[in-house]
Structure 1
Amino acid sequence: MISKDIALGFFFLFQTGFGALGNSFLLGFYAITFFTGPRLKPIDLLLIHLAFVNDLVLLSKGIPHTMSTLGLTNFLDNAGCKLVFYFHRVARDLSLCITCLLSGFQAMTLSPRNSCWAKLKARDSKCIVSLFLLCWVFHLLKNVPVLLMMKGSMRNKNITKEQDYIYCTVAFPPLLRNAINMLIITLPDVFCVGVMMGTSGYLVFVLYRHQKRVQYIHGNNLTPSASPETRATQTVLLLVILFVSFYSLNSILVLCIQYRQSSWLVHISAFLAACFPASSSFVLIVSDSRVNKNFLVLWEKMMT
């Protein structure tokens, strides 16, 4: 009979491999499109970056967690724990930031021509590159406290002021400094989630108004196919819903872990942290018509 730890390890291995395969496929697809196909759209730059950071999230969290569930709990020293958790936090925050930018960009795309966003539409590519650099610099600096707090696994020692994450531990600083660190970490996340919720509400309103207008023009008996803008908006909304749902549940579990030592809470938190990076790539693959067209062309070539 397979033990629980081995089954759990293979489960995390499957989740990590499945998600990394989807994100790597997207990166390869956009790379081929860049060199052989038409010019990439500004939104494609966001999707490429999202796939890249989601790969980092999965690999930095999934591989160590898989190894720990298979019985390897002391494979990282202090430096290894610091780097693994630091890059995971940076990649996870970038995933949040880029998803926020994606919802904001789509709201800007659907905004009327006479709105204040009209000037930004003409130079959206330059704005996106500048925002990428700003996000990277900000989150690299924001997560510096992680380098100071993380330590290697010390599960065999009597520790009362450190939080056990199975293969690493976090040493809590004094109360005031810990509160400041939590405030620095939490406020940007709350702001990004708030922006995503606001832009999502606006996108839902635009879609509803567009649907009513189309029904009025074509009649209630006709169901015209959705425009590319509508499909892109629906995809962005689905991504935002997935991210906010998994992020909220994981945040609740992280707070519970700080007050109650439980390996199962750590496992569930790791699973939820990897759900969005593992599933978002397949949402994009299914919703992108260019992927389907290229697959059909490739299939026809193989058959002939």
Structure 2
Amino acid sequence: MLSKDIALGFFFLFQTGFGCLGNFFLLVLYTITFFTGPRMRAIDLLLWHLAFVNDLVLLSKGIPQTMATLGLTNFLDDVGCKFVFYCHKVARDLSLCTTCLLSSFQVITLSPRSSWWAKLKARAPKCIVPLCFLCWTFCLLTNYKILLHMKGPKGSNNITAGKDFIYCSAIFPVSLYIVLYLLIISLPDVLCVGIMLVTSGYMVFVLYRHHQRVQYIHGNSLIPHNDSPETRAIQTILLLVILFVSFYSLNSILALYIHYGETSSVLVHISAFLAACYPTCSSFVLIVSDFQVKKYYLALCKR
């Protein structure tokens, strides 16, 4: 085995382990808060859900990719490939939906009382659980095509046509129906990304107006006014949206090229790396910015 393959395998292993550790920490933190802490905030439920689906993304992509890079390319059969790719695609779509819900909920929470968004403030927390169930139902149903097209590795199935994903393969029939299906399936993704961009723009506008108002009231005061919980929440959600849109856009473009162009192991590795970037980075963005982490850290330091 080449040394670069071993290095690449350990890189994927580190990326997966590092990201899973961060998301698992958030899962434990919000679970403890739910059972022993004060009343759980509505946004904490969305953050718990985001950490959970991000762990699914990392495990369903990172572990098979690590094993394949280290030379184990025939460890999955047809059923295993269908299950792994289906779980990854469902979890990836759920991560998109949850991030979209986070940005929308934050806009509703921070909007002025005179705005149209303010009318939804009282209803928004009650809709989080039904919306999460709706996202799960939609993602599970719309990704059924993966169960039809994914196969085991080429070497084990004597597949001569189709796309090779190193440890699995796929046969995508080229037809007008398939192209139309892909366009319809991509519409919710485009809609969610559009909502995130619109809500992010609105949050920047609210943050700018708040900054201008504070400057006008306090003049040249040296007291930092940008460290409020609302400001930190806006900045955190904005950073999550920027990270997601960036990595998601790059990975989607690469996935389309792999789907319609020539597939190579290098492109498959890059796609796996991009797919794991947001689940890994988002957990540590939340850990650094969440005041509950600082609260528990200060409590441990006092002991």
Q: TM-score, normalised by structure 2?
A: 0.95
Percent identity reads 70
CA contact (8 A) 1:54 1:91 kept: yes
Between the aligned partners of 2:53 and 2:96, the Cα distance in structure 1 is 10
- Structure 1 residues 2 and 158, CA, compared in 2 at 3 Å: closer, same or farther? closer
**Structure 2 letter corresponding to 1:266:** V
Q: Which residue of 2 aligns with 1:59?
A: 59
1:89-104 correspondence runs (5 A)? 89-104=89-104
Q: Which residue of 2 aligns with 1:273?
A: 275
**Deviations along 1:112-134, whole A, 9 cap, x unmatched?**
22333333211322211111111
**Structure 1 letter corresponding to 2:273:** F
- With 119-128 and 52-61 compared, the bigger mean Cα shift is at 119-128
CA contact (8 A) 2:74 2:156 kept: no
CA contact (8 A) 1:161 1:172 kept: no
CA contact (8 A) 2:211 2:226 kept: no
Q: Which residue of 2 aligns with 1:129?
A: 129
**Deviations along 1:83-138, whole A, 9 cap, x unmatched?**
10001000000000000010011111121223333332113222111111110100
Q: CA deviation at 1:298?
A: 1.4
Q: CA deviation at 1:264?
A: 0.4
Q: CA deviation at 1:35?
A: 1.1
Q: TM-score, normalised by structure 1?
A: 0.95
**Deviations along 1:134-167, whole A, 9 cap, x unmatched?**
1010010010011111000014777554111111
Between the aligned partners of 1:162 and 1:89, the Cα distance in structure 2 is 19
CA contact (8 A) 1:150 1:168 kept: yes
Q: Which residue of 1 aligns with 2:44?
A: 44
CA contact (8 A) 2:57 2:279 kept: yes
- Structure 1 residues 109 and 184, CA, compared in 2 at 3 Å: closer, same or farther? same
Q: How many residues align?
A: 301
Q: Which residue of 1 aligns with 2:295?
A: 293
Q: Secondary structure at the match of 1:196?
A: helix
**Structure 1 letter corresponding to 2:130:** S
Q: CA deviation at 1:185?
A: 2.4
Q: Which residue of 2 aligns with 1:184?
A: 184
Q: CA deviation at 1:65?
A: 0.4
Between the aligned partners of 1:47 and 1:157, the Cα distance in structure 2 is 41
- With 259-268 and 49-58 compared, the bigger mean Cα shift is at 259-268
Q: Which residue of 2 aligns with 1:260?
A: 262
**Structure 1 letter corresponding to 2:46:** L
Q: CA RMSD in A?
A: 1.6
- With 23-32 and 170-179 compared, the bigger mean Cα shift is at 170-179
Where structure 2 has 5 or more consecutive residues not aligned to the other structure, the ranges are none
- With 156-165 and 232-241 compared, the bigger mean Cα shift is at 156-165
**Structure 2 letter corresponding to 1:6:** I
- Structure 1 residues 85 and 157, CA, compared in 2 at 3 Å: closer, same or farther? closer
Between the aligned partners of 2:161 and 2:114, the Cα distance in structure 1 is 57
Q: CA deviation at 1:225?
A: 4.3
Where structure 1 has 5 or more consecutive residues not aligned to the other structure, the ranges are none
**Structure 1 letter corresponding to 2:61:** K
Between the aligned partners of 1:105 and 1:186, the Cα distance in structure 2 is 23
**Structure 2 letter corresponding to 1:134:** L
Q: Which residue of 1 aligns with 2:246?
A: 245
Between the aligned partners of 2:26 and 2:122, the Cα distance in structure 1 is 26
Q: CA deviation at 1:17?
A: 0.3
1:139-158 correspondence runs (5 A)? 139-155=139-155
Q: Which residue of 2 aligns with 1:35?
A: 35
Q: CA deviation at 1:243?
A: 0.3
Between the aligned partners of 2:270 and 2:220, the Cα distance in structure 1 is 46
CA contact (8 A) 1:103 1:196 kept: yes
Q: Secondary structure at the match of 2:151?
A: strand
CA contact (8 A) 1:155 1:164 kept: no
Between the aligned partners of 2:144 and 2:118, the Cα distance in structure 1 is 37
Q: Secondary structure at the match of 2:154?
A: coil
Between the aligned partners of 2:157 and 2:76, the Cα distance in structure 1 is 16
**Structure 1 letter corresponding to 2:217:** I
Q: CA deviation at 1:224?
A: 2.4
